[in-house]
C-alpha cells in the first residue's frame, strides 16, 4: 500500500497541465486538483491579440495586489504575452514559471495566483498571499524582568526578520525544508556557518529529511519527532518564544529551527542544565545571575525530594526526627486516617488539578481559581482530617520549586517524576528514595541530545563549561564558547586572556 501511494504521488508530481485545452478545460483541471473548492476564483482578460486566465483562492490572497500589480498592468499592455513577458509586466517580487500540476496546486493553496496566456506552454505563479498574523508582542510563557520583551509570532517571515535584525552576520546560514506530505510546512534550519559544528548540522538535516508525515502542526511536535529518545519524560530540545535566547544560542554554536505557523523556535543540542538557564541571567550582574541559577537548582532538588523525604521519615524513619518536631508532627497527623504515602499522593494530585484547571481557564478566572481554590481546599482538607498542615506546607514548597524552571516542559517533567519517587518512598522508605534517584540518574546518563551527552558538562566533566551552566561568571571569563557544542570558532571575546591577566595583576 505504501509503495502504491508513493508511486501515485510520483506520477502526480510528473503530471503537467494540458495547455492545449481551452480555458474551460484548464478550469476543470484546476478544480479537480483542488477538489471543487468553493473559493476558487477565475479572472479572464480578453484582448485583441491575447487572452489571459488568472486562477487563485479568493480568501487567502491580497486583493489590492491582485488588481493593482497583476490585472491592471496586463490589461494595459497590448503586446502578445508569453510567460516571460507576463512576468516582466506584473509588479510582483516573487514569481516563477511552471506547468507542473502539483506545483501549481500547492502554490495556489499557499496564496499564489496562476497566470496563464492562452496557447502557451507554461504559466506564471505570482505570490500575493495575505497570511493572517499578529504583531510582535511580549512573551507570555517566558516572561522576563530585564532584557528584550519581544516574542516570536506565527509568521515565519516576521520571525526571520527578527533573527536577521539580532544577528546581522553574513555567515548566518538559513536552509529551507518543506515538511509534510499533505500539509506543506516551510521550515528553516538556522546556524552560523563558521561556528556551528558540521556534524550537528548534518544530524539535524538528516533527521528532517527522514521525516515522512502528513503535517507538522507546531515546532514542539517537530522537536519530539527529531529528538533522540521519544519515550523519556525529559525534553531533549529546547523550544523557546524568545528571539534573544534563540540568537544567543546560535552565537554559542547551537542550531535553531523556525517552523511556519508556530510561535516557538527549536534550539539544539540542548543539555539538561540548559533548561534551567534564563537569558535574564546574562542581563543581571554575574553574582545575581549565579545566585538565581543556584536558587533554581536548589528549588528543583527540593521539589523532587522534599515530599518523598516526608513520606519516608513518617513511614519508616521516625528516629531521625528531632523530639521537639516529633510532637508537632504527631499532633498534626493525629486526625489523619490515611498513611503518609496516600496523603501525599492525594495532595499532589489536587495541586496538579488546580494547576491544570488554572491553565485552561481564562487568565483572570484562572488566577482566581488557583489562589482561592488552593486556600479553600487546603484549609478544608486540614479541618476535615484528610491531611496535616505540615504536609500542605511541604507540598506548596515542592510545587513552587517546580515552577522556578524557565522551561515549562522541564517543570512538567519534574512534577511527573515526583509521583514514582513518592511511591518508592512509601514502599521502601529511604532505600526506595535512593533506588528511585539512582534509576533517574542512570536514565539521565544514558540520554543524548543529537548524539551528545545530555548531562554535559557534568558528565563527561568539562570544568570550563560550568561557567555557562551551573554558574554565571563575569564576561571577561566567558571569552570561549561552550565546548559541549563543539564550535568551529571557539573564541567569542578575543581580549579575554588580556582581561584575565589584568584582573590577576590588579
- Answer yes or no: is pLDDT of 144 > 60: yes
Lowest model confidence (mean pLDDT) among 280-294, 298-312, 359-373: 359-373
Q: Dump pLDDT digits (tens) for 406-458.
A: 888 999 999 999 999 999 999 999 999 999 999 999 999 999 999 899 999 99
**DSSP bridge partners of 51:** 46
Q: CB 18: neighbour CB atoms within 10 A?
A: 11
- Answer yes or no: is pLDDT of 504 > 80: no
∠ CA 71-75-76, rounded to 5°: 120
Most confident of 74-83, 308-317, 318-327, 353-362: 308-317
pTM for this prediction: 0.84
Give the pLDDT confidence score for residue 85 in this predicted structure: 87
Give the pLDDT confidence score for residue 358 in this predicted structure: 76
Contact (Cβ atoms closer than 8 angstroms) between residue 243 and residue 163: yes
Task: Report the mean per-residue pLDDT for the chain.
Answer: 85
Give the pLDDT confidence score for residue 3 in this predicted structure: 38
| Average of per-residue pLDDT across 217-232 | 93
Helix (H, G, I), strand (E, B) or coil at 480: strand
In whole angstroms, how far apart are CA 255 and each of 195, 226, 239, 459, 506?
10, 13, 12, 22, 39
Contact (Cβ atoms closer than 8 angstroms) between residue 298 and residue 402: no
- Answer yes or no: is pLDDT of 214 > 70: yes
Q: Which residue is listed with cell 526571520?
A: 160
Percent of the chain topping pLDDT 90: 40
Measured distance CA(322)–CA(336) in Å, rounded = 21
Measuring CA to CA, which residue among 84, 68, 73 is closest to residue 117? Answer: 84
- Answer yes or no: is pLDDT of 79 > 80: no
Beta-carbon-side half-sphere exposure of residue 353 (alpha carbons within 13 Å): 9
Contact (Cβ atoms closer than 8 angstroms) between residue 188 and residue 160: yes
- Answer yes or no: is pLDDT of 63 > 70: yes
Q: Dump pLDDT digits (tens) for 474-500.
A: 888 888 888 878 788 888 776 444 444
Measuring CA to CA, which residue among 115, 63, 51, 62 is closest to residue 89? Answer: 115
Measuring CA to CA, which residue among 325, 348, 342, 317 is closest to residue 434? Answer: 317
Measured distance CA(200)–CA(195) in Å, rounded = 11
Give the pLDDT confidence score for residue 77 in this predicted structure: 81
- Answer yes or no: is pLDDT of 229 > 70: yes
Beta-carbon-side half-sphere exposure of residue 179 (alpha carbons within 13 Å): 30
**DSSP bridge partners of 206:** none
Give the pLDDT confidence score for residue 241 in this predicted structure: 93
- Who has greater pLDDT, 276 or 374? 276
Q: Dump pLDDT digits (tens) for 339-379.
A: 889 989 988 888 888 888 777 777 666 666 666 676 677 77
Backbone angles phi, psi at 125, to 5 degrees: -100, 125
Give the pLDDT confidence score for residue 497 in this predicted structure: 47
Give the pLDDT confidence score for residue 227 in this predicted structure: 94
Q: Quick one: cell of 501?
A: 591577566
- Answer yes or no: is pLDDT of 7 > 70: no
Give the confidence band of 16 by pLDDT, cuts at 50, 70, 90: low
Measured distance CA(441)–CA(498) in Å, rounded = 40
Give the pLDDT confidence score for residue 186 in this predicted structure: 92
Give the pLDDT confidence score for residue 499 in this predicted structure: 45
Q: Dump pLDDT digits (tens) for 155-197.
A: 898 999 999 999 998 999 999 999 998 888 999 999 999 899 9
Measured distance CA(428)–CA(315) in Å, rounded = 9
Q: Quick one: cell of 100?
A: 507542473
- Give Cα 385 to chain centroid, integer Å: 44
Give the pLDDT confidence score for residue 9 in this predicted structure: 52
Give the pLDDT confidence score for residue 485 in this predicted structure: 80
Beta-carbon-side half-sphere exposure of residue 154 (alpha carbons within 13 Å): 8
* Sequence-separated (6 or more) residues with CB below 8 Å from residue 493: 475, 476, 478, 479, 480, 499
Give the confidence band of 299 by pLDDT, cuts at 50, 70, 90: very high
- Answer yes or no: is pLDDT of 19 > 60: no
Amino acid at each position: 500500500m505504501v509503495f502504491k501511494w508513493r508511486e501515485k504521488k510520483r506520477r502526480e508530481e510528473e503530471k503537467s497541465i494540458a495547455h492545449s485545452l481551452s480555458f474551460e478545460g484548464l478550469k476543470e483541471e484546476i478544480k479537480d486538483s483542488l477538489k471543487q473548492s468553493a473559493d476558487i476564483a477565475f479572472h479572464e482578460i480578453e484582448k485583441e491579440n491575447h487572452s489571459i486566465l488568472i486562477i487563485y483562492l479568493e480568501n487567502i490572497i491580497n486583493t489590492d495586489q491582485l488588481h493593482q500589480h497583476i490585472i491592471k498592468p496586463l490589461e494595459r499592455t497590448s503586446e502578445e504575452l508569453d510567460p516571460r513577458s507576463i512576468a516582466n509586466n506584473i509588479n510582483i517580487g516573487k514569481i516563477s514559471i511552471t506547468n507542473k500540476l502539483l506545483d501549481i496546486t500547492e502554490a495556489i493553496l499557499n496564496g499564489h495566483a496562476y497566470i496563464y496566456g492562452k496557447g502557451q506552454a507554461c504559466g506564471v505563479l505570482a505570490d500575493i498571499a495575505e497570511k493572517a498574523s499578529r504583531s510582535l508582542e511580549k512573551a507570555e510563557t517566558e516572561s522576563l524582568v530585564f532584557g528584550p520583551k519581544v516574542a516570536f509570532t506565527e509568521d515565519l517571515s516576521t520571525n526571520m526578520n527578527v533573527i536577521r535584525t539580532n544577528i546581522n552576520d553574513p555567515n548566518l546560514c538559513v536552509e529551507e525544508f518543506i515538511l509534510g506530505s499533505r500539509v506543506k510546512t516551510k521550515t528553516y534550519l538556522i546556524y552560523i556557518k563558521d561556528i556551528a559544528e558540521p556534524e550537528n548540522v548534518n544530524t539535524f538535516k538528516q533527521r528532517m529529511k527522514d521525516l515522512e508525515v502528513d503535517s507538522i502542526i507546531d515546532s514542539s511536535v517537530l522537536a519530539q519527532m527529531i529528538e533522540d529518545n521519544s519515550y523519556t519524560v525529559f525534553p531533549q530540545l529546547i523550544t523557546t518564544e524568545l528571539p534573544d535566547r534563540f540568537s544567543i544560542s546560535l552565537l554559542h554554536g547551537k542550531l535553531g529551527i523556525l517552523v511556519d505557523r508556530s510561535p516557538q523556535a527549536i534550539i539544539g543540542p540542548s543539555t539538561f542544565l540548559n533548561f534551567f538557564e534564563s537569558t535574564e541571567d546574562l542581563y543581571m550582574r554575574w553574582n545575581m545571575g549565579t545566585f538565581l541559577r543556584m536558587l533554581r537548582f536548589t528549588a528543583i532538588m527540593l521539589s523532587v525530594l522534599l515530599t518523598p523525604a516526608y513520606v519516608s521519615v513518617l513511614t519508616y524513619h521516625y528516629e531521625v526526627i528531632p523530639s521537639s518536631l516529633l510532637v508537632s508532627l504527631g499532633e498534626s497527623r493525629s486526625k489523619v486516617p490515611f498513611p503518609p504515602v496516600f496523603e501525599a499522593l492525594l495532595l499532589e494530585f489536587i495541586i496538579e488539578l488546580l494547576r491544570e484547571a488554572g491553565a485552561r481557564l481564562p487568565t483572570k478566572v484562572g488566577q482566581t481559581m488557583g489562589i482561592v481554590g488552593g486556600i479553600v481546599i487546603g484549609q478544608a482538607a486540614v479541618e476535615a482530617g484528610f491531611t496535616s498542615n505540615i504536609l500542605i506546607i511541604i507540598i506548596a514548597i515542592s510545587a513552587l520549586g517546580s515552577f522556578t524552571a524557565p522551561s515549562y516542559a522541564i517543570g512538567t517533567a519534574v512534577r511527573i517524576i515526583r509521583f514514582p519517587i513518592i511511591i518508592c518512598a512509601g514502599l521502601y522508605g529511604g532505600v526506595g528514595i535512593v533506588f528511585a534517584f539512582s534509576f533517574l540518574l542512570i536514565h539521565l546518563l544514558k540520554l543524548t541530545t543529537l548524539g551528545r551527552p545530555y548531562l554535559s558538562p557534568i558528565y563527561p566533566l568539562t570544568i570550563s563549561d560550568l561557567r555557562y551552566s551551573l554558574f554565571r561568571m563575569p564576561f571577561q571569563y566567558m571569552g570561549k564558547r561552550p565546548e559541549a557544542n563543539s564550535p568551529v570558532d571557539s573564541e567569542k571575546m578575543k581580549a579575554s586572556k588580556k582581561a584575565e591577566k589584568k584582573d590577576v595583576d590588579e
